[in-house]
Structure 1
Amino acid sequence: PVERIVTLFVVAREGGHFNGADLVVAAEKAGLEFGDMGIYHRLVDGKRELDPIFSVANMLKPGNFDLARLDALRTPGVSFFMTLPTPIPALDAWDAMLPTAQRLAELLDGQVLDEERNALGRQGIAHIRDQLRGWDRDHEGKEIIFGR
C-alpha cells in the first residue's frame, strides 16, 4: 500500500517548454530508464521486477511520453515522484531522486520546484530530508515485501 508520495518538478523557464528529443537525451544522461506506463524510472540495479526507486512523468496529461511521436512532444515540465515505501530506504531514494532532478534541470536549462511548485532551496531540502529520516525510523525493522 502507498503510504506517501514525494514529488518534485523540473520545469522549463518562464513560458518555455522542453521538447521531446532534448528530454529523451537528458533523461538517459541522468540515468533514467524508459519503461512501465510509458514513463521514466530509476531502478534498483536495473531490476525491472522490483518497484522503481522513483519515476518521472510528463506534467501534461495523461503523463506518459509517446516515444513514437517524440518530435511533436512539447511539455512545460516533468514530475519526479517516489512512492513510499520504496525498495530502498526513503532517505536513500531521496538522495537518488534529488540529484537526478537537479541534473535534468541543468541539462534542459530548467528549474527544480517542490511539491507546491515553489523553487526548491536548501531549507526545503532539509525539511524533506528530516521527514524522510523520520519515515525511515518509523518503518525500521518492518518487513518490506519486494515485487508486485
Structure 2
Amino acid sequence: MAEELRWVLIVISVFVIGGLLIHGLWSVRKKDTPETPTSERVEPQHSAPAHAPSTEAAEPVAFERDEPQLGELNFTADEPQIDTSVPEVPIEDDLQVVEQEPAATQSEEPAAVADFVIVHIQMPEGMTMQGSQLLPAVNTLGFKYSEEGFFNRHLDPAGQGPVLFRLVNMYNPGTFDIDNMEQFSTAGVSLFMTLPCDGDGLAAFNMLHSAAKKLADEFGAQILDAEREVMTVERVRQYVEQVRAFAA
C-alpha cells in the first residue's frame, strides 16, 4: 500500500512539474512575439504652404530723401504740377447728360520757376582753407554772417536789403560756426545765387564771380562750375545767359 502511494505521488509531481514547464515556455514565447495592431491611425500631415509668411519682423527700409544735401549744392528747381484729371459730368435720373457751361478761363500767368547759379572754390587735394584766414577774407568782400550759419552778400554792403548771393561750406553740414572759426577748416566753399534775383541780376553775378576769383587767389584754390568741372570762359557766358533769361 505504501509502495503504491509513493508511485502515485511521483506521477502527480511529474505532471505538476511538466505543467509548470509548459506554462513557463508559453509565457516566454507570448512575451517575445510583438502584438500586431488591429488598426493603425494615420495622422494627416499638413504641409507648410508654399508662401508661408515669415514670422521674423522685416527690417525697416531706410529711404533717402530726394532733396539735395546743402553741402553738395546739387539744387533742383521744383516744376509746377499740371492737373490732368478730367472733370466728372453729372447725369440726371433719366440718363440725360447735363450740358455744362465752359468755365471762365483765367488769364493769370504761371509763376516763374526758380533756378540757381552755383560756383565752387575747391582747394588742391590734401589742402584746406583755415577758418582764421577765411573769416577776414569774406568780411573784406562784404559778406555778413547770418543766423542760419551762412555768409550773405546783401544789396547794401552794410548788410541791409535783399540777399544777392550766399557763401556756404562746400561740405556737410554746409554751415559755419562763427564762434569756432579758429578751429575750423574746409577743403572748399561754394557761392550761389537764386534766380530771379532781387535787383540787377547781371551786376549780382559779376559780384559773385569776382568774389570767387578773389577767394581762389587768396587760398590758391580752383574755381569749378555747378557740375564741379573747371570753370571756363564758355561756362561763364552760359551763366550770363542764364541770368539774362530770368531778367527778361
The equivalent of 1:29 in structure 2 is 140
CA shift, 1:75, in A, is 0.6
User: Unpaired segments of 5 or more residues in structure 1?
Assistant: 138-148
**Identity percentage of aligned residues:** 28
1:62-73 paired onto structure 2 within 5 Å: 62-73=173-184
When normalised by structure 2's length, the TM-score is 0.52
CA shift, 1:49, in A, is 5.6
| Cα distance in 2 for residues equivalent to 1:27 and 1:15 | 22
Question: Is this contact kept in 2: 1:18–1:76, CA < 8 A?
Answer: yes
More strand by share: 1
| Cα distance in 2 for residues equivalent to 1:85 and 1:114 | 19
When normalised by structure 1's length, the TM-score is 0.84
Question: Is this contact kept in 2: 1:20–1:70, CA < 8 A?
Answer: yes
Q: Which amino acid aligns with 1:7?
A: I
| Cα distance in 1 for residues equivalent to 2:140 and 2:157 | 15
| Cα distance in 1 for residues equivalent to 2:158 and 2:136 | 21
> Once superposed, which parts of structure 1, at least 4 consecutive aligned residues long, lie more than 6 Å away?
none
CA shift, 1:35, in A, is 2.0
The equivalent of 1:84 in structure 2 is 195
CA shift, 1:90, in A, is 2.0
Give the count of matched residue pairs.
137
Q: In structure 2, which of residues 153, 157, 174 is the aligned counterpart of residue 42 of structure 1?
A: 153
Q: Residue deviations 1:37-85, cap 9 Å, x none?
A: 1111111114656331000001122211102111221111111010122
More helix by share: 1
**SS at 1:63 equivalent:** coil
Distance 1:48-1:71 versus aligned 2 partners, 3 A rule:
closer
Question: Is this contact kept in 1: 2:119–2:191, CA < 8 A?
Answer: yes
Q: Are 1:5 and 2:116 counterparts?
A: yes
- When structure 1 is superposed on structure 2, of 1-10 and 90-99 the one drifting more is 1-10
The equivalent of 1:51 in structure 2 is 162
Q: Which amino acid aligns with 1:129?
A: V
- When structure 1 is superposed on structure 2, of 112-121 and 36-45 the one drifting more is 36-45
The equivalent of 1:136 in structure 2 is 247
Q: In structure 2, which of residues 227, 238, 245 is the aligned counterpart of residue 116 of structure 1?
A: 227
Distance 1:2-1:27 versus aligned 2 partners, 3 A rule:
farther
Higher relative contact order (CA 8 A, sep 6+): 1
Distance 1:88-1:108 versus aligned 2 partners, 3 A rule:
same
| Cα distance in 1 for residues equivalent to 2:246 and 2:195 | 9
Larger Rg belongs to = 2
